[in-house]
Amino acid sequence: MEILTNSLQVADYMRLHESAGWGKAEADMVAVALTNSYATFAVIEQKQVIGMARLLGDGAVTFYLKDFVILPEYQGQGVGKELLQYVQNYIKNEIKPGWPTTLELISAKGKEGFYQKFGFQKMPYDNFGAGMLKKF
């Protein structure tokens, strides 16, 4: 297994997006989204993309983990763990040492425990309210 940065293709994104139960994505929108992402990550196993992550952010104060997907048949095998560690290391290499940067996400329902193993906290807590979303 290997992880490639900024090589995620539209067709692979669309296939993985649908495998997560998020519906069929439009190719035009995906192309724009991938181009405008801070970074993309593709997990490759036997020449097939089996997982992906898309990172948004400003390169300093905050990053947002978007579209984190591992094909169902590869879940529970450590692929997601390796990808999330890779993304976190990528961020650490992008920022200056000592910068108080955050990595934020919205978990898929029922997947919160996976992220909590990596130190993510459910909201609301302390000074943070619940995450919010508005669709157009």
Q: CB-based burial of residue 15 (10 Å sphere; 0-12 exposed, 13-18 middle, 19+ buried)?
A: middle
Q: What is the pTM of this model?
A: 0.92
For the chain, report the end-to-end CA distance as a whole number of angstroms: 37
Note the pLDDT of residue 133: 80
Phi then psi for residue 54, to 5 deg, are -125, 130
Tens of pLDDT along 21-80?
Answer: 999 999 999 999 999 999 999 999 999 999 999 999 999 999 999 999 999 999 999 999
Do residues 56 and 96 touch, judged by C-beta distance below 8 A? no
Q: DSSP secondary structure string, 101-130?
A: -EEEE-PPTT-HHHHHTTT---SSBTTB--
Do residues 43 and 51 touch, judged by C-beta distance below 8 A? yes
Domains of the chain and any CATH numbers: 2-116 (3.40.630.30)
Q: Does 134 have pLDDT greater than 90?
A: no
Q: Does 115 have pLDDT greater than 90?
A: yes
Q: Does 127 have pLDDT greater than 90?
A: no
